[in-house]
Chains A and B, each alone.
Chain A
Amino acid sequence: QQQVKQSPQSLIVQKGGIPIINCAYENTAFDYFPWYQQFPGKGPALLIAIRPDVSEKKEGRFTISFNKSAKQFSLHIMDSQPGDSATYFCAASNFGNEKLTFGTGTRLTIIP
């Protein structure tokens, strides 16, 4: 039972472009939506997170857009760089429960 669906599975974008990764969830009790970034051979690390009381959150070149009615959220990377090449995971959890449900991941490649 996949509660968080992530797309696309892989994405290739030219340097300076804006890759967009999308996630959809089913459980309306979810109220915390983080994105994790993973480089090859490393563990995932928290990149940015949002709660459903706002529709957008920006941290540097990374932006989460959140659509509560559609039960969807997405990650946008502005002015993408080759160093952003990594696998990105969306996730979700319920308030009071730190256990996360992860999406299946998106392998992003930024070409110079």
Chain B
Amino acid sequence: NAGVTQTPKFRVLKTGQSMTLLCAQDMNHEYMYWYRQDPGMGLRLIHYSVGEGTTAKGEVPDGYNVSRLKKQNFLLGLESAAPSQTSVYFCASSAYYEQYFGPGTRLTVT
């Protein structure tokens, strides 16, 4: 089992550009999450999903959109990137409260 995978691993964007981060899990988990991690701020929840076709806002949803068209995939989109979105993004999935994290995507917006 690969667990939770994220693509890409690194990305540099210019202000105003758009991109999509892909998260995939092979554990048949219902719940999936997108977090951002910034120094001194811990892990902050952007959006999450409780099942295929559902999404919900987390703590810091502004500037991001998500989609969960298939149970195993959770996509995070940035429509118009801003320097404030420079961060490390983690995807996770969960079952019985234990969250399994992907390796992260380091995004820099210049």
Q: Which residues of A contact B (CB under 8 A)?
A: 6, 9, 32, 34, 36, 41-46, 49, 89, 93, 98-105
Contact = CB atoms under 8 A, between A and B. Distances in A.
Enumerate the 7 nearest inter-chain pairs by beta-carbon distance, A residue then B residue, closest first: A43-B101, A104-B42, A102-B43, A102-B42, A98-B94, A105-B42, A98-B31
Nearest to B6: A43
B101 A44 contact: yes
Interface in B88-110: 90, 92, 94, 97-104
9 contacts: A32-B97, A34-B97, A41-B104, A43-B92, A89-B43, A93-B97, A99-B31, A102-B42, A105-B40
A46 to B, nearest CB: 5
B41 interface: yes
A89 B43 CA distance: 9
Contacts of B104: 41-43
A43 B42 contact: no
Chain B: interface size category? 20 to 34
B74 interface: no
A25 B4 CA distance: 29
B103 A103 contact: no
Given A34-B97, A100-B99, A44 B43 contact: yes
A45 B4 CA distance: 12
B42 to A, nearest CB: 4
Which of A9, A49, A102, A103 is most buried by chain B, counting CB atoms within 10 A of its CB? A102
A68 B3 CA distance: 34
Nearest to A100: B99
A34 B102 CA distance: 18
Given A34-B97, A46-B98, A99-B33, A104 B41 contact: yes
Contacts of B102: 43
Interface in B1-50: 4, 31, 33, 40-45, 48
Contacts of B98: 34, 46, 49
Contacts of B101: 43-45
